[in-house]
Amino acid sequence: KAGVTQTPRYLIKTRGQQVTLSCSPISGHRSVSWYQQTPGQGLQFLFEYFSETQRNKGNFPGRFSGRQFSNSRSEMNVSTLELGDSALYLCASSGGGQETQYFGPGTRLLVL
Amino acid sequence: GIQVEQSPPDLILQEGANSTLRCNFSDSVNNLQWFHQNPWGQLINLFYIPSGTKQNGRLSATTVATERYSLLYISSSQTTDSGVYFCAVVDNYGQNFVFGPGTRLSVLP
A99 pLDDT higher than 90: no
CA distance A30 to chain B (A): 15
CB–CB contact A105 B42 (8 Å): yes
Neighbours of B94 (CB within 10 A): 17
Which band of pLDDT confidence, cut at 50, 70 and 90, is reported for residue A69? Answer: very high
What are the phi and psi torsion angles at B88 (to 5°)?
-135, 140
Ranges A63-77, A80-94, B2-16, B26-40: which has the least confidence: B26-40
CB–CB contact B45 A48 (8 Å): no
Query: What whole-number distance in Å separates Cα of residue A89 and Cα of residue A76?
Result: 10
Query: What whole-number distance in Å separates Cα of residue B65 and Cα of residue B24?
Result: 10
CB–CB contact A103 B35 (8 Å): yes
- So what's the pLDDT on residue A56? 87
- So what's the pLDDT on residue A46? 95
Residue from the list A37, A98, A100 with its beta carbon closest to the beta carbon of B45: A100
3 state SS of B79: helix
What digits encode the pLDDT tens for the residues A4-32?
999 999 999 999 999 999 999 999 999 99
Name the residue of chain B whose CA is nearest to A41's CA: B101
Q: Which amino acid is at B102?
A: G
What digits encode the pLDDT tens for the residues B58-85?
999 999 999 999 999 999 999 999 999 9
A51 pLDDT higher than 70: yes
Residues of chain A neighbouring B45 (CB-CB closer than 8 A): 100-103
**Contact indicator for B71, B16 with CB cutoff of 8 Å:** no
Residues of chain B neighbouring A33 (CB-CB closer than 8 A): 96-97
What digits encode the pLDDT tens for the residues A100-109?
889 999 999 9
Which band of pLDDT confidence, cut at 50, 70 and 90, is reported for residue A98? Answer: low
CB–CB contact A48 B96 (8 Å): yes
Query: What whole-number distance in Å separates Cα of residue A5 and Cα of residue A71?
Result: 14
The terminus-to-terminus CA distance of chain A in angstroms comes to 37
B97 pLDDT higher than 90: no
**Contact indicator for B28, B22 with CB cutoff of 8 Å:** no
Closest by Cα among A45, A9, A21, A29 to A102: A29
Chain B interface test: which of A43, A91, A93 (most B C-beta within 10 Å): A43
Residues of chain A neighbouring B48 (CB-CB closer than 8 A): 99-100
3 state SS of B85: strand
Residue from the list A42, A44, A103 with its beta carbon closest to the beta carbon of B102: A42
